[in-house]
Every structure is written in structure tokens, then in C-alpha cells.
Amino acid sequence: MNLLSYSTYSVIEIPLRELLDLCCQALALDIPNKLECRAIVQQLLAYYLQVHATDYILNPLCTIAPAIHIKLLDAIDRLKKQEPIQYVIGSTYFAGNCLKVTPAVLIPRPETEEWVTCLMHHLSDPTSILDIGTGSGCIAITLKQHFPKAVVEAIDISKAALAVAAYNAAQIGVKVHFTTADILTDPLPASSWSLIVSNPPYVRMQEKPFMHANVVDYEPHLALFVPDNDPLIFHRRIIQLAALHLRTNGILCLEINEALGEKIVDLLHRANFKQITLHKDMRQKERWIMAVSGHKRST
């Protein structure tokens, strides 16, 4: 017996744990890690059937209408093709917020949430914040929630990504100013900020063969990859702009490729930043860097 054997024209009544097992069986060949498979299916059932962790203990009888059955089958088919669960259900969680995600935006990572949370706990209240390459808006929105008095601006080259970010900000109820801009070619507004943050593209093309299909085949390459011959193209540009637009003693915080930390430290030194610190993520990989702007050099 499997989920496909049930008619999509009639109501199904099935114990929740049995449904969980059937869905896991359908995905067993495509997601061989049993724990990962089970966690993904639980997310799927939580989304379509509004079931929670305690329901698996109580093992209630689930009633599945034909329309939901069809959606479940479609979702399982998408998962079998390695599409990320976040795109299948259209949402993910970041810092306690449920955010809309589409293939136009990078899926927010736990490592990013980790450094954003750490950053918030180490800062006194910034008055103005700029998020470069905002994507889903996860960083800008989280910072605005934590620092409600700050003016928060966010830019991205993708209008589709900005539409997702604006939707998320509106749903959560925070005010963030979103602007379309190409950070590599467009100048920043004639403004200064007390905090600039960014999770820019940093995966080298040479690393692509070692990445999972659910990332390479579905997430936006524009937000992921940099050329092998210039892997610091975004970090270098952001550091240059931050040196011009950060207030004295303002903070710059960047997510980085673990293999390029020391090179980014060198870029920051050359741009007259101080108190430069590399931070490791939960897996003990160098994941983000924080620096303080110094006095502007005379020209």
C-alpha cells in the first residue's frame, strides 16, 4: 500500500503515523537519509494538514479531502525531483518568523540566522541599517524587529526578490525601504549608515560539482555563485562602499566563504577598518566577519 494507491476522487481517512510512513516510503529512494526524509515529510504534513508534533503521539485519524490529496501527491513528486521543501510549501522560518520564499530568492540558512542573532546581541541600538542583497528580506526584517527605531534600507538587483521581501515585511508588520540596485555598478544613495550587513554571493564555481542538486538545480545562481578568477568581487565592492558610507565607528558585517576569510580580513585592513573579527558558525567553519569603520583616509 502506498499513497498513490488511494483514489484522488474520494475522502481518505488514515491514521497520521500511517500517513507519515507512506509518504516516507514514497520518498525513500530519493531522500535516503531516514531522519531527513521524516523531517521533510513532517513539514509537508504540517503545512497541508496543520498537524503538530503532539499529533504523532496521539495518532489521530486524518481526513484528507481529494483536493489536498492531489496537492500532497504533487508535492511528493516535486520532492522526488530534489526540489527544496521550502519552495514546495512556499515558506520557511528565520529568527521566529515565517517567511515566504520562491525560486527568486535564496532559502535563508541556519548559519545566517546564527550570525544575525549574534550580531543583534552584541550591538547597541544602530540608528540606520543597510542590507545589501536582501533576497527574501530575512536579515533586514529581523534587524528592524530587534531595532524598531532604526531606519532600515535594503537593496537587491532582482525585482522578483524585492517583491518577496516587501511581502514578508508587510506580513510581519515592519517598515523596510526596498530599492532595486546592482551593487557592482550602481552607486549607493548619498547617505551614511551605522550598520551595513550583507550575505552576498560567495560560492566559487569550482565548488558547484560538490553541491547538492536541491541547491544547484533550484536556488538562484545569481545569489550563490562568483567566478573562480575573482571570488571576492562582491566582498571587495561592498567593503569599498562601506568605507565611504559607514559612519565613523559604524559596523560592517558580512557572511563569507570559509575558505576566503583571511583574504577578506586583508581587504578590510586595506580599507582602514579596525577591530576585525572572524566568527565561526555552529559547524566550526569561518562563516561571518565583523569590522568597525575607521576615520576616512584623506585623498
Q: How far apart are CA 170 and CA 164, in angstroms?
A: 10
Average pLDDT, the chain: 94
Quote the pTM value: 0.93
pLDDT tens digits for range 55-76: 988 888 999 999 999 999 999 9
Q: What are the tens digits of pLDDT across the range 139-187? A: 999 999 999 999 999 999 999 999 999 999 999 999 999 999 999 999 9
Q: How far apart are CA 245 and CA 153, in angstroms?
A: 13
The CA-atom distances, in angstroms, between 242 and each of 22, 31, 161, 166 are: 52, 43, 23, 24
Q: Return the pLDDT at 264.
A: 98
Assign domain 103-292 to its CATH superfamily: Vaccinia Virus protein VP39 (3.40.50.150)
Whether the pLDDT of residue 2 is over 80: the answer is no
171 and 115 Cβ atoms separated by less than 8 Å: no
| pLDDT higher than 50, residue 1 | yes
**pLDDT given at position 110:** 96
What pLDDT is stored for residue 148 in this prediction? 97
pLDDT at 4 (0 to 100): 62
Say yes or no to pLDDT of 297 above 50: no
Q: Report pLDDT digits (tens) over 230-274.
A: 999 999 999 999 999 999 999 999 999 999 999 999 999 999 999
Q: Determine how many CB atoms are found less than 10 A away from the CB of residue 200.
A: 18
| pLDDT band per the 50, 70, 90 thresholds, residue 189 | confident
pLDDT at 298 over 60: no
pLDDT the model gives residue 122: 87
101-123: average pLDDT: 96
What is the β-pairing status of strands 274-280 and 151-156? unpaired
DSSP-assigned states of every residue in 44-85: HHHHHH---HHHHHH-PEEEE-HHHHHHHHHHHHHHHTT--H
In the chain, list all ranges with CATH 3.40.50.150: 103-292
Q: CA–CA distance from 145 to each of 61, 92, 139, 172 (Å)? A: 39, 18, 10, 9
Determine the pLDDT at residue 299.
33
If DSSP states are collapsed to H, E and C, what string results for 147-173? CCCCEEEEEECCHHHHHHHHHHHHHHC
Give the percent of the chain with pLDDT over 90: 87
> Which residue did the predictor score with more confidence, 107 or 125?
107
Rounded alpha-carbon distances, angstroms, from residue 275 to 24, 150, 233, 249, 272: 49, 23, 23, 10, 10
Does 191 score more than 80 pLDDT? yes
What is d(CA 91, CA 94) in angstroms, rounded to the nearest whole number? Answer: 10
